[in-house]
Amino acid sequence: MDILKENWKDWNVESSIDLDIKMVFVKFWTGRVPDADVNLFLSRFCTILQPAIKPLDKFGIWYGVRKYKIRTKKNSSGETVQIPNTMALGPYNGKITYSGQIPRCYICQGVDHQIKDCPEIKCWRCGGLGHKAKDSRFSSVCSLCAAEGHGFFTCPQSYANRARSGTQLLCIFKNEIEQNRFR
Ligand SMILES: [Zn+2]
Ligand SMILES: [Zn+2]
Ligand SMILES: [Zn+2]
């Protein structure tokens, strides 16, 4: 019964369904970041509905922006999962922008302070939080897949590491098939 009520509430809010679909822009200053890693990172926070579009400038050169059509995810309490405004893949930092975005600290994603007042430490080597670059081997949480106990460079999910071990290439195809189902 509660579920029914919830549904009616949703229908009454104007275009609430459309608000779940967004265009998300991911900008890296380098072309060396594989699509698969950006896809994996984004998939933690939303459902990718279309593979990345890479707009070209007037000279026909790609300038590092990927454009995604996504559907927002809900957490177990029914709240919309917030997509962060930045993603770190090792030393490479990407900026994420989308409509309705709330200004957040680029390090810890807090809403009550700016980057210069952030109490969190960010490692410029692996992109992880909570340690400095000289302590990078002690990385606690992976910046790519959010698992504990390894960093970006040793992440078994990263494109580079999956490509290195041929047996796990199947996983890449499996992910792509799963993404295709949502189209
Ligand atoms: Zn912060
Ligand atoms: Zn580190
Ligand atoms: Zn990982």
pLDDT digits (tens, 9 = 90+) for 70-128: 999 999 999 999 999 999 998 899 999 999 899 999 999 999 999 999 999 988 888 88
3-class DSSP assignment, residue 89: strand
As a whole number of Å, the end-to-end CA separation of the chain is: 31
Q: Which ligand is nearest to the CA of 145?
A: 3
> Against a cut of 0.85, is the pTM above it?
no
Q: How far is the CA of 29 from the centre of ligand 2 (A)?
A: 20
Which residues have CB atoms below 5 A from the ion given as ligand 2? 123, 125-126, 128, 136, 139
Strand 92-98 relative to strand 21-28: parallel, antiparallel, unpaired? antiparallel
Q: Which ligand is nearest to the CA of 122?
A: 2
Q: Are 69 and 50 in contact (CB under 8 A)?
A: yes
Rg (CA), the chain: 18
Q: Phi, psi at residue 159, to the nearest 5°?
A: -60, -45
Q: How far is the CA of 180 from the centre of ligand 2 (A)?
A: 33
Task: Give the whole-angstrom CA distance, residue 1 versus residue 128.
Answer: 44
